[in-house]
Structure 1
Amino acid sequence: MPELQLDDVTLHYEEDGDPAGAPVVFANSLGTNLHLWDPILPYLPQGLRIIRYDKRGHGKSSVPPAPYAMGALVRDAEQLLDHLNVRDAVFVGLSIGGLIGQGLAVKRLDQVRALVLSNTAAKIGTKEMWEDRIAAIREGGLEPMADSVMERWFSRDFLASDALPYWRDMLVSQPAEGYMGCGAAIAGTDFYTPTSGLRLPLMGIAGSEDGATPPDLVRETVELVPGSSFHLMRRAGHLPCVEKPEEYAGLLTDFLRETGHI
């Protein structure tokens, strides 16, 4: 199991595809692990170097005590890519993964040549909202809030499907400490000013039924960067890579071609 030991955390990561290929780095959402991206892998072009990882407090990565700072999450990604000798990657970040991507692109343009911001924003929610959610998790864990999270994550069609239990189980299996830690990082992050200074190819993706980062919020962030593009996926929620993997992979593939990455 590939792991990177850093000062205060052990990061689990996986690589697929061609080790010599153009790198594409995927950063997943709060309450999921790197298997969030499994559904799209069969639809991506051959020859890419695909890198996925579990952020601190999630999946098979270790769980430092909460709270976490967004700077630590960005630094984790930075040190992982340095460890893997990755430069000029396309970074695909969903939700908190998109915040990490924004922070990394501002800090290390040598590592990120293009950015995909999926179901994310420069600022997600309010500090008070996150503090309330963290307090509820500290009191009762993740299980009591799982159903309401599913309603924010998925479209009505998907909520009625047989696939839902897998993703609900993924949420409740994440360490509560890690969820609270990353929630605190989101609560303390406002990237409107730094993101507005970015000048790189950028594509935004939103889901029409996303209850966590609604389309207008995603679009507002994407439009901070001149020349960016925005795509709305119909009948999809916060995790369109799960609900419509072929369509999602098609958007990524087109972006990779447009940016000369493949």
Structure 2
Amino acid sequence: MFLNIDGHGLHVALHGSEHDPALVLLHSLGTSHAVWERQVRAFSATHFVICPDFRGHGLSEVSRTPVTVGVLAEDVVAMLAAVGVTTFHLAGISIGGLVAQCVAATLREQVRTLTLLDSNIVSLAPQMWKDRAAKVRALGLAAIEEAVLSRWTTPQGRQSDEGRGLATMLARTPSEGYAAGCDALAVADCRHSAASLTMPVTVAVGEHDEATPPQAGRALAEAIAGARFEIIDGAAHIPLFERSQAVNALLQRSVAGG
């Protein structure tokens, strides 16, 4: 489904029946809605699964205005209104988890459960993200490809068919789309939203995640009253393919809690 949101052509993938409970899945930087393929397969028989593409990712247009986590959250809120969803379960990974926190704070009466994967509450390395944005704008995504992919999966996962698929998602992301996401991550701060997150919240992080390490996930969980914290054994930053069974089981437990 293609929508005009704030003057931008944005894409959202819809799976399953609109009569089933809605599950919204928000992707990571440099990927797209397709990163949730294993979860869509697992949940679309029982849920209306909604997977937006952020600005400059997947099939959505590159932003012509500055991007922040708040701007991406506003896009998601507008997309959900256009789709006609009133209550939903919400999950996000990495930057998608930051966006999910903002969406949940805005629509707290409508979010039944919130699942945050390999994410954080405030920017972990503002200068690194600023430097990365500048490098990508100057030299293109190829200049940071190896550094990014080495953190997304384990070495074994990198060699798998789906590991190669992740590399393709990154390569097909417009450089400006990725750089704008770096801009957003440099100033990301969801600490003001934490008190608003009164729905059941699950925070999980890969055991071997170097991008948002377990201590960052634990700090996120501790900032949200009543949040449950889990470690995904054997996982790196993007466990959605490599540890899909564990992620699906975790997401099922989270959804069942609401």
For 2:156, the equivalent position in structure 1 comes to 157
* Structure 1 counterpart of 2:93: 94
State the partner residue of 1:60: 59
Q: Structure 2 CA distance, aligned partners of 1:18 and 1:146?
A: 37
Q: Which residue of 1 aligns with 2:235?
A: 236
CA contact (8 A) 2:21 2:46 kept: yes
Give runs of ≥4 in structure 1 deviating > 4 Å: none
1:202 aligned onto 2:201: yes
2:109 aligned partner: 110
RMSD: 1.5
Deviations 1:107-141 (A, max 9, x none): 12133222111110111322211111011101110
| Amino acid corresponding to residue 115 of structure 2 in structure 1 | V
Cα 1:19–1:45 shift into 2, 3 Å: closer
2:36 maps to 1:30:
no
Alpha-carbon distance in 2 for matches of 1:12, 1:120? 23
Identity over the aligned pairs, expressed in percent? Answer: 30
Give SS of 1:113's match.
strand
For residues 178-189 of structure 1, what are the structure 2 equivalents within 5 Å? 178-189=177-188
CA distance in 2 between counterparts of 1:200 and 1:44 reads 21
Query: SS in structure 1 opposite 2:113?
Result: strand
Task: Note the residue ranges of structure 1 that are not aligned, 5 or more in a row.
Answer: none
Aligned 8 A contact 2:43 2:49 in 1:
no
Deviation per residue, 1:134-167 (Å, 9 max, x gap):
1110111001211111111112321343442221
Q: In 1, Cα distance between the equivalents of 2:111 and 2:124?
A: 26
CA distance in 2, matches of 1:157, 1:7: 41
Structure 2 distance, partners of 1:49, 1:161, is 29
Structure 2: which amino acid aligns with 1:258? G
Q: Which amino acid in 1 is paired with 2:119?
A: T
Aligned partner of 2:139 in structure 1 is 140
Contact 1:43/1:250 (<8 A) preserved: no
Residue 216 (structure 1) shift: 1.1
Matches of 2:161 and 2:6, distance apart in 1: 41
Counterpart position of 2:127: 128
Corresponding residue pairs, total: 258
- Higher mean C-alpha deviation, range 54-63 or range 120-129: 120-129
The residue type paired with residue 164 of structure 1 is G
How far, CA to CA, are the matches of 1:223 and 1:196 in structure 2?
11
Deviation for aligned residue 1:7: 2.2
What is the Cα deviation at residue 258 of structure 1?
Answer: 2.3
State the alpha-carbon separation in 2 of the partners of residues 71 and 163 from structure 1: 30
Q: Does 1:167 align with 2:163?
A: no
Letter matched to residue 81 of structure 1: L
Normalized against structure 2, the TM-score is what? 0.95
TM-score between both structures, scaled by the size of structure 1: 0.93
Q: What's the secondary structure of 2:3's corresponding residue?
A: strand
Deviates more, 1:186-195 or 1:36-45: 36-45
Letter in 2 for 1:38: E
Q: Give secondary structure in 2 for the equivalent of 1:174.
A: coil
Cα separation, partners in 2 of 1:9 and 1:147, compared to 1, 3 Å: same
How far the C-alpha of 1:45 sits from its partner, in A, is 6.7
- Counterpart Cα distance in 2 of 1:111 and 1:140: 42
Q: Is the 8 A contact 1:121 1:221 kept in 2?
A: yes
SS at match of 2:92: strand
